[in-house]
Chain A
Amino acid sequence: MNKDLSKVRNIGISAHIDSGKTTLTERILYYTDKIHAIHEVRGKDGVGAKMDSMELEKERGITIQSAATYCTWKDIEVNIIDTPGHVDFTVEVERALRVLDGAVLVLCSVGGVQSQSITVNRQMTRYNVPRIAFINKCDRTGANPERVTEQLRDKLDLNAHMMQIPIGLENDLVGMIDLITMKAIYFEGDSGEKIREADIPEDMMDDAVEKREALLEEISMFSEELMEALLEEGDVDVKLINEAVRIATLSLDFTPVLVGSAYKNQGVQLLLDAVESYLPCPTDVTNMALDLKDDEKEFPVTNDPDDPLIMLAFKLEDGRYGQLTYIRTYQGTLKKGDTVYNNRTGKKVKIGRLCRMHSDEMQEIESCGSGDIVALFGIDCASGDTFSSSEISCSMTSMHIPEPVISLAVIPADNKAQINMSKALNRFTKEDPTFKTFVDHETGETIISGMGELHLEVYVERMKREYDALVEVGAPQVAYRETISQRAEFNYIHKKQTGGSGQFGRVGGFMEPIEDEEYEFVDKIVGGVIPREFISSCDKGFKKSLKKGSLCGAAITGVRCVINDGAFHAVDSSDVAFQLAAAGAFREGYLKAKPTIMEPIMKVAVEGPTEYQGAVMGSINQRRGMIIGTTEEGSYSVIEAEVPLSEMFGYSTTLRSLTQGKAEFTMEFATFKPVPKSVSEELIKAYQEERKNG
């Protein structure tokens, strides 16, 4: 029997760090009967929240890997991905958004729209994900959901409107008024599981009526039927209002705002109702795939369970059940024992076991259909691979993956650690496309690189805990780049005649800077001065030269190499000879092309009490940072700046001591910019010394 897709919701829960996402998910699982007891993130019972299944997550109180789970609310099947809040793990958030149809943006009622909320919102916009906002922690001192709603409008440019108003705030929070049904809702029982509807308190009636009117006026812009009903001035059908909100939310023109406190068990069930009523089901969303047989032409997936299968592997995990691959099915049906194709590798894969995951517990199933998010066992693939049945060859739209900006050397303590480290790195690189590893052939060290200090720190910790790989780590290194700033000609002859057959090749042309691309090779050879079979040798020679620049040993990017002249020898010319000639030509041209060193610049946002604004600005300035802007809201302020990554090491300690631990910062990669002359000279000197000593 085909599943009714209108009763499926694939949702993500995203937010700034410490906004209470995991606590909220814990409550959702409790109210949907997936778990039978509530454990807090940093709870005294030592169990930890259900979704934080990695030991490290429980210890740090933050979510590192998004765990997928599903639950049933009323007759709706909800697949949830709990996504991490720290910006270093942004790729996890992005991947989750790629496969989900809707999202809940969780905000802290005190902190409001914070830097990571802006990043997450931008990601949701990038993937056209309809969203509802949940203003959490309304029980906290300083809670102000109205201010947060205003920020959603001002800072995130969302047409956000409160669907509820809280009854009491901070310690006095006891329930909320639903502005659609115009009822007061109270959450009673030990864990808020008993919902009691009552009349709106008299002293709040006027406010509720006024806010409802404003809300309905806004929503009526999206439904003529509702507008007519409002003009008739009778009772407006709740179903009609909800339909209008749904239409507006799906078109990304409206963001319903719900309020509550997951920790105090307030408002979570109403949020689940809103997920059902306002967020899209798989058929509401148009997902596009690329036809690999037709020049990657885009086509919409059908969601039809009878059509050929298309599914995307969006997450890999190697847990206690072995290798797990999380997939989202976009059309067709997958059954245990089916054979599918990995469209990237062209390999056939037989599906052994199929299961639904509930954090780290699983439930085996026989088949899954369109719109489902499930896990497969023992599939060899990388994150982002598209699988399909044999009739079609396609790929889901590629995912946006940022380049790593920081690296450090990891040195295994002994042989056993060496073997375990290799296993761990092999798995981590498959799981996380922003985590990369390679061996530096000059030092023999294994280098890992990623998106930030915490990102790498977590992987080192996981190596120790999950793989028993004891490693020492070197100091973090910034991933510098080299590039050229002007056009330069080259004309290089490679000639060697010392016994045996000789080597000969001449490569002439020029190199010039290009933007937004790492490398381009242009062949303008005419008259066969370099034979066709050696053109690709020139390309190879240039590419090899790009790996290490002569200034500081960093990779070279942004170069177009054009060859337009050359010479060959009928006997002595070979693939190797032309590769070496191209490498020589590159060396010759590179020095004339005014090479410069570029460094990663991070977008940094520091949030904290206004009294520390001067000190924080000073600390940014000392770090070669450029302050872009400051936002002051009462006693709280945000400083946005661009700071070189190399200057940000240890900043958390500095910030803590400057602000008595009251400020926090987030950073994400912004761009590469040329380093100042003094820094460039230091880097060049250090590299020269390293070469001399090495």
Chain B
Amino acid sequence: MGNNEHIVNNPLRALGLEKNAKEDGSQAIMGLVMARAGLGKTAILVQFALDCMLLGNKVLHVSIGEGVEKTRTWYDDILSLLTDGEKIESIPEIMKNRMIMTFKESSFNKALLEERLDDLVQQNIYKPECLIIDGYDFENNSKESLEEMRNFMHERGLKMIWFSAVSHRGDERVSVDGVPAPCHEVDSLFETVLSIKPEGDDMMLDILKCDDCAMDPGTTLKLDPSTMLIQKG
């Protein structure tokens, strides 16, 4: 199966970030998807991950607080929507580009991730090029920890790291760029910040910040509310 079949409507292309996934890591980006709980952050992260995988990159999906099985299901569900019911396992050339690591909320930190990654890279088991970190605790981690993650991305030659963050309805703190709490004080560390927002029956993906994007901040992409796929056009 040709990969092009799947990347017709990919989110990286929609944002104009495809080049960052294709290049050698010199234009690495750190991205963030924010939303209130249960609005579909993981679905968006998995779309980015699938995009990276289809472009031939190895993705390490770090899931904090979720199991391997649930994370796998996300990939199967999204890929199944993009194709005709295909599962990741049935496409070996995509499957080999994904590894999932799950941690408990209380135990995850950069040092542990680094140790695990060393295990993989030094033994030549898996060398990730894109990192997905779903469930990072922005409320209880300092700006320094995130800076460390950013340095880590550069040191390891990663092309991109995508985080998800939960925003809360009652918390109205925002940064100058409009990035809501709890990420309002760390938004300078991210090249791209997206926010999922329901509008009536629709779901929108607001581009709050996007240094490398083809689109200007303030632009909104429409999501299919039943599938959370970014809609064409």
Residues of A within 8 A of B (CB): 118, 154-155, 157, 613-614, 617-618, 621, 626-634, 640, 671, 673
The interface residues of chain A lying within 8 Å CB-to-CB of B67 are 154-155, 631
With A and B bound together, what is the CA distance between A628 and B72 in angstroms? 9
Instruction: Answer whether residue B99 sits at the interface, using C-beta atoms and an 8 A cutoff.
Output: yes
Among candidates A614, A627, A629, A634, residue contacting B107 with C-beta atoms closer than 8 Å:
A634
Could you list 15 further interchain pairs (A-B, Cβ under 8 angstroms) beyond the known A154-B66, A629-B72, A634-B104? A154-B70, A617-B119, A617-B123, A621-B124, A626-B96, A627-B125, A628-B99, A628-B100, A629-B102, A630-B100, A630-B102, A632-B116, A633-B107, A634-B107, A673-B92
A614 to B103, CA, bound (A): 15
> Does A627 lie within 8 Å of B99, measured CB to CB?
yes
Contacts of B116 in A (CB 8 A): 613, 630, 632
Candidate in B68, B70, B89, B118 with the most chain A CB atoms within 10 angstroms: B68
Question: Roughly how many angstroms separate A187 CA and B81 CA in the complex, as a whole number?
Answer: 55
Using CB atoms, name the residue of chain A closest to B124.
A621
Query: A632 touching B101 by the CB < 8 A rule?
Result: yes
Number of A-B contacts (CB under 8 A): 60
| Separation of A632 and B68 alpha carbons in the complex (Å) | 10
Across the A-B interface, the 7 shortest Cβ-Cβ residue pairs: A629-B100, A629-B68, A614-B119, A621-B125, A618-B123, A631-B102, A155-B67
Residue pair B107, A618 in contact (C-beta under 8 Å):
no
Q: Return the chain B residue nearest A626 by Cβ.
A: B96
Beta-carbon contact of A629 and B119 below 8 Å: no
Cβ of A148 to closest chain B Cβ, rounded Å: 14
Tell me if B71 counts as interface (CB < 8 A to partner A): yes
Give bound CA distance, A617 to B122, whole Å.
Answer: 11
Q: Which residue among B69, B72, B116 has the maximum number of chain A CB atoms within 10 Å of its CB? A: B69
In the complex, A627→B98 CA distance in Å?
Answer: 9
Inter-chain contacts of B92 with A (CB < 8 A):
673
The answer to the question of B120 belonging to the interface, with a C-beta cut-off of 8 Å to chain A, is: yes
| B13-38, CB < 8 A from A | none
Q: Is the CB of B120 within 8 A of A617?
A: yes
Residue pair A632, B69 in contact (C-beta under 8 Å): no
Contacts of A617 in B (CB 8 A): 119-120, 123, 125
Question: Hey, which chain A residues are within 8 Å of B214, CB to CB?
Answer: none
| Neighbour of A629 across the interface among B89, B99, B118, B123, CB < 8 A | B99
- Roughly how many angstroms separate A370 CA and B99 CA in the complex, as a whole number? 50
- Interchain Cβ contacts under 8 Å between A and B, 6 examples: A614-B123, A621-B124, A629-B102, A632-B112, A634-B104, A634-B107
A405 to B101 alpha-carbon distance, docked (Å)? 29
Closest beta carbon of chain A to B91's beta carbon, Å: 12
Question: Could you tell me if A613 and B99 are in contact, using CB atoms closer than 8 angstroms?
Answer: no
- Interchain CB contact under 8 A, A632 and B89: no
- Rounded to whole angstroms, the CA-CA distance of A154 and B71 in the bound complex is 11
| Interface membership of B8, Cβ < 8 A | no
A630 partner, pick from B96, B101, B124, beta carbons under 8 A: B101
Using Cβ atoms and an 8 Å threshold, which residues of chain B touch A632? 101-104, 107, 112, 116
A619 CB to closest chain B CB, in angstroms? 10
With A613-B116, A614-B123, A621-B123 as known contacts, state yes or no: A629 contacts B104, CB within 8 Å: no
Q: Check A631–B89 contact: CB distance below 8 A.
A: no
Chain B neighbourhood of A614, CB < 8 A: 118-119, 123
Q: Does B136 contact A (CB under 8 A)?
A: no
B171 to chain A, nearest CB (A): 26
In the bound complex, residues from chain A placing their C-beta under 8 Å from that of B70 are 154, 157
Question: B174 contacts the other chain (Cβ, under 8 Å)?
Answer: no
A residues less than 8 Å from B100 (CB atoms): 628-630
Q: How far is the CB of B157 from chain A (nearest CB, A)?
A: 21
CB neighbours (8 Å) of B107 from chain A are 632-634
* CA–CA, A673 and B102, complex, Å: 27
- Decide: A629 and B125 in contact? CB cutoff 8 A: no
- Supposing A617-B120, A627-B125, A630-B100 touch, asked if A640 and B66 sit within 8 A by C-beta, the answer is no
Chain B neighbourhood of A629, CB < 8 A: 68, 71-72, 99-102
- When C-beta atoms are compared, the residue in chain A nearest to B98 turns out to be A628
Per the bound structure, the CA–CA distance linking A614 and B117 in Å amounts to: 10
**B59 CB → nearest A CB, Å:** 12
* Chain A nearest CB, measured from B123 CB (Å): 5
- Interface residue? B126 (CB, 8 A): yes
Contact at A627–B104, with CB atoms within 8 Å?
no
* Cβ contacts under 8 Å, B102 to chain A: 629-632
A627 to B96, CA, bound (A): 9
> In the complex the two chains form, is B68's CB within 8 Å of A631's CB?
yes
Which residues of chain B come closer than 8 Å to A618, judged between CB atoms? 119, 123, 125
Q: Do A628 and B68 form a contact, CB below 8 Å, given A613-B116, A634-B107? A: yes
CB distance from B143 to the nearest CB of A (A): 25
Q: Which chain A residues lie closer than 8 Å to B103 at the CB level?
A: 632
Bound CA span A629–B99, Å: 6
How far, in Å, is A344 (CB) from chain B's closest CB?
Answer: 34
CB of B113 to closest CB in A, whole Å: 10
User: Which residues of chain B come closer than 8 Å to A157, judged between CB atoms?
Assistant: 70
Shortest Cβ gap from B69 to chain A (Å): 7
The distance in angstroms between the C-alpha atoms of A101 and B207, with both chains bound, is: 53
B99 — which chain A residues lie within 8 A by C-beta?
Answer: 627-629
Please give, as numbers and ranges, the residues of chain B lying within 8 Å of A633 by CB-CB distance. 104, 107
* Bound form: Cα–Cα A618–B92 in Å: 21
* Cα–Cα, bound, A596→B123 (Å): 30
Contacts of A628 in B (CB 8 A): 68, 72, 99-100
A235–B100 CA distance with the chains assembled, in angstroms = 48
**A640: nearest chain-B partner, CB-CB:** B68
For window 140-190 of chain B, which residues contact chain A by CB distance below 8 Å? none
Q: What's the Cα separation between A671 and B89 when bound, in Å?
A: 10
Contacts of B66 in A (CB 8 A): 154
Q: How far is the CB of A408 from chain B (nearest CB, A)?
A: 29
In the bound complex, CA of A157 to CA of B120 (Å)? 30
Residues on B with beta carbons closer than 8 Å to the beta carbon of A627: 99, 125-126
Cα of A155 to Cα of B89 in the assembled complex, Å: 20
CA distance A621 to B107 in the complex (A): 26
Q: How far is the CA of A613 from the CA of B69 in the complex (A)?
A: 19
Collect the chain A residues with CB atoms within 8 Å of residue B119's CB: 613-614, 617-618
Q: Provide the residues of chain B in CB contact with A634, threshold 8 Å.
A: 104, 107
- Nearest-Cβ distance from residue B144 to partner chain A, whole angstroms: 23
A154 and B102 CA atoms in complex are apart in Å by 12
Q: Min CB distance, A194 to chain B, in Å? A: 40
